[in-house]
Structure 1
């Protein structure tokens, strides 16, 4: 391993040579760790550079001043399951004025053991156990769900095995219940999205994305990871009586024991989401790309043994999501109404139900709804077919999610049993006494008659956008005017804010809480006019709220901050508002029509960050500064592809976070730091996700992102450590409170960790 050191004359010496630890070369690292392995180079307790794996070895380049220093080489990797792990460390005192050569053998390294169990992180990674289970910021179990309960990850499938229900979902979620009323979160060995479940009578097999296969025998609580021989996404699985058969993205896999699998490649463009066994043949439902129209179309395939498959039969409909055999006919359901407004799918179709007695000839039935149907099951005891689904529009986000449950005795005539503004329903299962429906945000409902449905998830499902501590209480705010308070980070109470407008941010002045927000609306002329329903509320205690919104049209207000002498609120189309007391507000001229997302300050300078990704015109990278809140100066020379979502002051430097919304350009996450607010240095924390929030605890920076299920931690803004969280939802804000770390996000997510 070689890297160049730059002494004071800035000429590379190119003669500092290091031998990497033999264990890193010989141990079977997990693929995600092996792919993300690097080494931090520390000089006198500060990271001065990184070594990255190159084709001809490990290389990096950094400035090292001459003289005596403490040099530390620390090998690290990032894993999906365990976050950032330190694998091997060497520390030596070295005088760079007299000796520029350093040779390290494997025996010179120490191997960290985060949970102090006598087995190093490297050894536990090889064994597949959690290297940091009992450590601060370690395994998934260090964070716990406070809302919703029992958990808030979306669920995708549910099954009844004759004595118990089991449901699976995002972030490796597995829950079990013996009675359908009380649900327990089971320990999962995977963090991947789990999609389908099958039960053989003695064993569960669960499949998911990226070739995930898990098995669990009836007499064991433990799940084992199996290798299907492919990393293709798997969506549906069934048990034929002699073998398991799973289907997915251009693939089918078969196994007689759930452990050893045979892969069968399907043609390109074939994506099958569900499979059922009729007793004579396997029937899979999904979609293929129509060769004539080049658009996705619903399709059915059949097979006698899971090895040889028929050519797909195009149904001339939208894609199919699930299929079920009733004993006399096949029922397939689907829809693509959620894509309405998409140019690729100009004509959409929801509420799709197809029936067939032989798998070859299909008839479309009138479901009485245009809501997408995601799941169907047959209740053998009553002979009733039940279908459920929902439509959350991906294009028109202002359209609320609608859900529906239907039933039929013959597959032809359908009755609506439940229809509401709710989360998407994704899976159905029935026992002799009740039906269970599961779905997005961890929703679980049960019914004994298909008419009255009991909810087994507690807590709000409204997305929470921000959280703040007022010393003796936490306050979280979110969409639909949601305000929650807590004194212990575990139990939360909903408060009446007096508005149904989305709340985006909240600040504490020391004597008053101020929350802001608004709704997106048609663009109009003038600063802040992209969105017509801005709102400002104040409260002395988090419980009683007063509307302080100025008269006139305001745009969406994205953030608010207290400088010590005034409140600064920022938002859409260059909106800046200032107030000395939260009651009287003045509009300031920002000099820009870009979106302003966040604001922070020190004693001398106010810094606003933003961008313009909402308009998708490729213009971002906005930083404004001011000494008084009235006169603003833009910082030039920023990367126009970066959108800066949040900013904070640490006491010695500003940290701005965000990312690149066009991920084809670069890694999505970006972090900028500046000691003076004028000159900024860009860092990449190494995650492909937009960082939504950054918070200074007094000793370290905490950050969370929109798609990466982790907490980021840094002491200097340059070197970041990832700690995984159990949530697969968007994480919008983070705070520390009375020794706990609390994260809030979409679908009502509230996580807490005892530090």
Structure 2
């Protein structure tokens, strides 16, 4: 038996108003989480639910807590007896807990690698588990040892139930039909009770005689004699039913797809529909609890007369998320849904657009300091191309939908992009349209009559922008959309998102894990090979030329720190489809997705450390005209610099009071480097108040409208400071180029972002005779380990880390090294426990070794 793995402290408490500092990506909606839940059970005050991606929730009556058993497998079933809890899952997973609160879990060895869809314990010792390919397991010592009774058949078993040591039943699928079997000798042999025409997904017995099995198409079979005979009951639903629960008094419930809940009071002879507050598929019921897709938890206290949601938030499919600063954000979704937050995503309010059409994109850029102006676009409505606009933060929406003469059927609009005074939309069949008057009139730049669809759009300046779509399509404009020309890297890729950090550095991603990058404005594209993933990639974003993220299907999140040359996988904690990224600063971001998924990070998804430095109450008068400087002495913890290097910076101008900012140029200097932050903004006005300058913003400060309050992109990239020693004097210089307007510097600050470097240490004292890769040390490790190798000749060395499925996670070394002995430290703090591989390539030499991370 494997040793118990101690979980981390609960990271989120349901119904709690406390906000915990968290690392990596964590749930903001729904709460406590949004993964699918497959089973729930309750005993002596403890309720536990389990689901996809290793999800375990526990409650003792005061709310739900997320538990971590150290596995990412799907967890399908729970059985509770006394203080003992067992959970079965994919790949032969069996977990055990006996602390009475669901806190400490151990992994038991089952001897199989099949999906174990159901586990049932009769008492503390005797239990059974069944699953795919006719797998049947039994234990008589609480799971310390499991005997394999059957495996490797063609049928699949979904639930097992026992009344006593000898009498039990199971149900499942036999091809397109169902199967119900019975044993009278504790599972040694099984006989078919009936072969239904529909697959049977769940079963439950009230006692030795009365039982029900439920399945696809609303099928319900019931027995009154312990399974000797079964009869088909009328369920009054055609929805697939996934689970059933019977009480000894004859009352019972069955649940299934599209929120179906039906009730019986006569052991399943007759059934009536109960009102469900959710349209998500429901997977399990136990007593007065129901769970299902997208983290759905329902509860009743009156026998199902009323079912209430026992989770916070919403579970609609979200298509895009857009934050204009660290507090205010918006998200759009199917069915005309739009939500707004004013507290960084911790609570959301639904906005009324006035339409039930699917909305595919939303854009609220902070142009002119107006956080309340934005667009949302979506599904075609007959002749109309759907566009809505708001100028008051979504309080009211104006219908700016339009028709195109000669186009008999409108097509979907998939994306929108808002700039100062100009707004673009792109969509199906190659549609590109532009408005310069708030959507009252639309200039059709490309009719929706092309052989490709357009999904992504990004502008890097007022005139220069790109769109991307199917058939390898990338179009560029340098004339604000008046003309578009092709920059296709191929003619087959289905691109879903494009992003440029500046006029030269851009990235495009799409279906099948495709990733391209360019360093010359799109004239030449380099494909990432081999694929990091083959999942559909829906959104890409870069904070600067180096640091970027991608999100996509199956909960995929990728991160790069070298401009997209290499990517590593970040833990999302979900398998839900992820649709959109939005960052306000280098490490502060959000992701939207299916089932209402909203994830948030304050540290770039893990691995970033942030240090802030401030100077307040300066009241420093600005020379008029002339130069004014202020120095900040930065001292960073030496232990931090031993493991991290400076990877990004934000400058906070809070506050510069000046009556005409068009007079000003603002510079930042450190360690011999100078960056230009602001150069005489175009629009007249006064003051910088609460202004953050970061490469992560897409709103140029020089082109915006003062007063500057919010998050803006500086005149020149702050990435010039990446990698340098942050310690020492940082100088802010304010140059007033015109006389007649005076001002003061009241306060300013720096946010320094640190990431983990992988610096190679080399010993050239002797030249080895051959290549050799040594076993990492320590091994097992947590979280750092050293990898050493030697090489007899100069050459390009590539050292990469892979997971147990062979997926590339990160590149530690990719540089030319001289003959000698070398070593590098691998920091696995962002990865979960498990087996990993490191592979070194140098010329024709290739060597791979295994290592084990235990947290």
Fold match by TM threshold 0.5: yes
| 521 and 564 in structure 1: CA distance in 2 versus 1, 3 angstrom threshold | closer
CA contact (8 A) 1:323 1:330 kept: no
CA distance in 1, matches of 2:579, 2:259: 24
Of 495, 498, 511, the residue aligned with 1:659 is 511
- Is this contact kept in 2: 1:537–1:549, CA < 8 A? no
Q: How far is 1:312 from its partner?
A: 4.7
Q: Does 1:515 align with 2:360?
A: no
Gaps of 5+ in 2: 12-20, 604-855
Report the CA distance shift for 1:205/1:223 in structure 2 as closer, same or farther (over 3 A): same
CA distance, structure 1, for counterparts of residue 457 and residue 196 of structure 2: 52
1:263-294 Cα shifts (integer Å, max 9, x gaps): 344353211111100223221111012xxxxx
SS at match of 2:110: coil
Larger deviation, residues 231-240 vs 139-148: 139-148
1:197-596 matches, cutoff 5 A: 197-219=78-100, 221-241=103-123, 242-250=125-133, 251-256=135-140, 257-279=142-164, 280-289=166-175, 296-304=176-184, 308-310=188-190, 312=192, 315-336=195-216, 349-355=217-223, 357-380=225-248, 382-390=249-257, 401-419=258-276, 422-430=279-287, 435-449=288-302, 450-471=304-325, 473-489=328-344, 490-509=346-365, 510-511=367-368, 513-519=373-379, 534-551=386-403, 553-562=409-418, 566-583=422-439, 584-589=441-446, 592-596=450-454
- 2 CA distance for matches of 1:127 and 1:188? 9
Q: Distance in 2 between matches of 1:446 and 1:322?
A: 20
Residues 407 and 688 of structure 1: CA distance in aligned 2, closer, same or farther (over 3 Å)? farther
Alignment-derived partner of residue 728 in structure 1: 575
Question: Which among 174, 178, 199 is matched to residue 56 of structure 2?
Answer: 174
CA contact (8 A) 1:320 1:332 kept: no
Contact 1:559 1:571 in 2 (8 A): yes
Shift of the alpha carbon at 1:413? 1.5
Measure how far apart 1:559 and its partner are.
Answer: 0.9
Structure 2 CA distance for partners of 1:275 and 1:189, relative to 1, 3 Å: same
Pair 330,249 (structure 1): closer, same or farther in 2 beyond 3 Å: farther
Post-superposition CA distance 1:202-230 (Å, at most 9, x none): 31110112222111114572111222112
Aligned equivalents of 1:140, 1:212: Cα separation in 2: 28
SS in 1 for 2:53: helix
Which runs of 4 or more aligned residues in structure 1 lie more than 6 Å from their structure 2 counterparts after TM superposition?
Answer: 126-131
SS of 1:707 mapped into structure 2 = helix
| 1:144 corresponding residue in structure 2 | 26
- The alignment partner of 2:144 has SS state of coil
Q: Which whole-Å CA distance do the structure 2 matches of 1:703 and 1:636 have between them?
A: 20
Q: CA deviation at 1:649?
A: 0.5
Kept after mapping to 2: 8 A contact 1:405/1:419: no
CA contact (8 A) 2:548 2:560 kept: yes
CA contact (8 A) 1:501 1:517 kept: no
Identify the residue that residue 691 of structure 1 maps to in structure 2.
537
Higher radius of gyration, 1 or 2: 2
TM-score with structure 2 length normalisation? 0.62
Is the Cα–Cα contact under 8 Å of residues 298 and 319 in structure 1 kept in the other structure?
yes
Counterpart CA distance in 2 for 1:327 and 1:367 is 21
In structure 2, what is the Cα distance between the partners aligned to 1:572 and 1:212?
Answer: 44
Structure 1's 606 and 263: CA in aligned 2 closer, same or farther, altered over 3 A? same
- 1:682-733 per-residue CA deviation (whole Å, 9 max, x = no partner) reads 1145123111111122362121111134353443112112220223321111
Q: In the alignment, does 2:526 pair up with 1:681? A: yes
CA distance in 2, matches of 1:540, 1:416: 43
Residues in 1 aligned to 2:301 and 2:555: alpha-carbon distance in whole angstroms: 39
Residues 516 and 525, structure 2, Cα contact 8 Å, conserved in 1: no
Per-residue deviation, residues 26-51 of structure 1 (Å, max 9, x unmatched) = xxxx9xxxxxxxxxxxxxxxxxxxxx
CA offset at residue 753 of structure 1? 1.9
Cα distance, 1:593 vs. partner? 2.8
Is the CA contact 1:215–1:224 (under 8 Å) kept in the aligned structure 2?
yes
Q: Does 1:164 align with 2:50?
A: no
Partner of residue 609 from structure 1, selected from 464, 468, 476: 468
Structure 1 residue 740: Cα displacement: 2.5
DSSP-derived class of the 2:218 partner: coil
| 561-570 vs 361-370, which moves further | 561-570
Q: Report deviation, 1:360.
A: 4.1
Give per-residue Cα distances to partners, 1:216-260, cap 9 Å, x unaligned.
Answer: 114572111222112211111111334221111111222232232
Counterpart of 1:621 (choices 472, 477, 495) is: 472
8 Å contact from structure 1 (residues 610, 621) kept in 2: yes
Deviation at 1:636, TM superposition (A): 4.9
Distance 2:181 2:600 in 1: 46
Question: Contact 1:705–1:732 (CA<8 Å) still a contact in 2?
Answer: yes
* Count of residue pairs brought into register by the alignment: 569
2:75 alignment partner, one of 171, 181, 194: 194
Against the structure 1 CA distance between its residues 314 and 586, is the aligned structure 2 distance closer, same or farther, given a 3 Å change threshold? farther
- The SS at the match of 1:142 is coil
Q: Is the 8 A contact 1:333 1:373 kept in 2?
A: no
Question: Alpha-carbon deviation of 1:319?
Answer: 0.9
- Report the counterpart of residue 184 of structure 1 in structure 2: 65
Q: Does 1:744 align with 2:592?
A: yes
